[in-house]
Structure 1
Amino acid sequence: MAHIDYYLGTISPWCYLAGDRLERIAKEHKATVTYKPVDLMQLFPRTGGLKPADRHESRLDYRMQELTRWAAYLKVPFNLRPAHFPVNMAPSSYVVIAAQAAGEGDIGALVRGFLRAVWAENRDVSDDAVIRDVLAANGFDPAIADKGLFVGAEQYGRNLEDAVAAGVFGAPFYVVRETGQKFWGQDRLTFLADHLATA
């Protein structure tokens, strides 16, 4: 059985556009997934990239065009300029990690809930009330926001180190543990599916 490490940012528009395709692919190929939220603003400069705010205007302009195109192609609601972006990813990331460690519930749905809150609902996922609401809306106990956050914070830091060690430099990024094959971007999910079918 294949195992996929999914490196993500809880405010990444590209992770939002990935939707539930990873989960559907994993189910089809009987693969398991570990969700690994990372601090993208630290990951980018550590792996030769730039934070979005530091990128050249031409890159930012193209990014906006691509986001608009992909949202239209995938037929998903998308606010190109959300009211709360960027915000601190740590609180929502801690909650994802704590919920996963608890071993209950649909972590993929929880991740998508945070991403949808940013890119379709104009909500601030660094706000405690929003975090609790997203937990509840996706079948989790809102009290997770109070539990395991020290462990979440520690794992969040480890996820960054794991990402750098694994050759991850953006999000969404998928690494198949058994083969070491890496797939960067929601537009590479078809390649991931093909790899799992033949691995």
Structure 2
Amino acid sequence: MAAFDYYFSTLSPFAYLAGTRPWEIAARHGAGVTCKPLDILALFARTGGTPPGERHPSRQEYRLIELERQAARLGMPINLKPAHWPANPAPSSYAIIAAQNAGGGNMGQLVQSILRACWAEDKDIAGDAVIRDCLDGAGFDPALADSGLLAGAETYAQNLEDAVKAGVFGSPFWVTAEGARFWGQDRLGDLDAHLAGQAA
């Protein structure tokens, strides 16, 4: 069975723009998806990246231009200056990990609802009520927001190690079972083609 790991930060606007397309692509090819939310700032520190707020003003400005362009192209609402960004990404990441372990709901919907809460709805994704609403809306037990925190923390840390080992350096990032890598929501077409056997 084809499969790929999905590395992302719940703070990432480009992961938000990826939407549920990774799961739609997976469904077309009968592929499994493993969500690996991680600490993006720690990943930058480990792989030579620079946090957005520390980049040259030209780079910061162009990032916003690109986000606005991509969102418009995709027909997705986006707030370029969210009220609660950057929030603590750990609670929402732990909830995603707990939901994936529990099963029974819609993972694509859960991940996207958390990202949308930040980038389109001006909600604090570190807040318990927001996380519970996202879990419930995606068909998961809202109590997962409170359970498995230790296991979630351990997996969250391991996801960072796995990312570095796999050659991941940004969000969103997809790595297939055989090690093919795809960075950025604008490379989802390449992932689709790869899974179809049409690209390297």
| TM-score category of the 2 structures, normalised to the smaller one | over 0.9
Matched residue, 2:182: 183
The secondary structure found in structure 2 opposite 1:198 is: coil
Q: What are the Cα deviations for residues 1-53 of structure 1, in whole angstroms up to 9, with x where unaligned?
A: 21100001112100000011111110001111000000001101110111111
What is the distance in 1 between the residues matched to 2:129 and 2:109? Answer: 18
AA in 2 matched with 1:172:
P
Q: Distance in 2 between matches of 1:18 and 1:55?
A: 23
Matches of 2:194 and 2:103, distance apart in 1: 27
1:137-183 Cα deviation digits (max 9, x unpaired): 221111111111110000000000000000000010000012x1100
Once the two structures are TM-superposed, the CA of residue 65 in structure 1 deviates from its matched residue by 0.2
Residue in 1 aligned with 2:90?
A: 90
In structure 2, distance between residues paired with 1:181 and 1:160:
18
Q: Which residue of 1 aligns with 2:39?
A: 39
- Of 102-111 and 149-158, the range deviating more from structure 2: 102-111
Residue 190 of structure 1 aligns with an amino acid whose one-letter code is G
Q: Matched residues in 2 for 1:20 and 1:129: separation?
A: 23
Structure 1, unpaired ranges of 5+: none
Deviation of the 1:76 alpha carbon: 0.6
TM-score by length of structure 2 reads: 0.97
Q: Is the 8 A contact 1:11 1:114 kept in 2?
A: no
Aligned partner of residue 76 in structure 1, secondary structure: coil
Structure 1 stretches of at least 4 aligned residues deviating more than 2 Å after TM superposition: none
TM-superposition CA deviations, 1:81-125 (whole Å, max 9, x none): 111111110000000001111122111111001001001110000
Question: Unaligned regions of 5+ residues in structure 2, if any?
Answer: none
1:16/1:116 contact within 8 Å kept: yes
Percent identity between matched residues is 60
CA contact (8 A) 2:104 2:139 kept: no
How many matched pairs?
Answer: 198
More displaced 10-residue stretch of structure 1: 151-160 or 131-140: 131-140
2:13 corresponds in structure 1 to 13
RMSD across aligned C-alpha pairs, in angstroms? 0.9
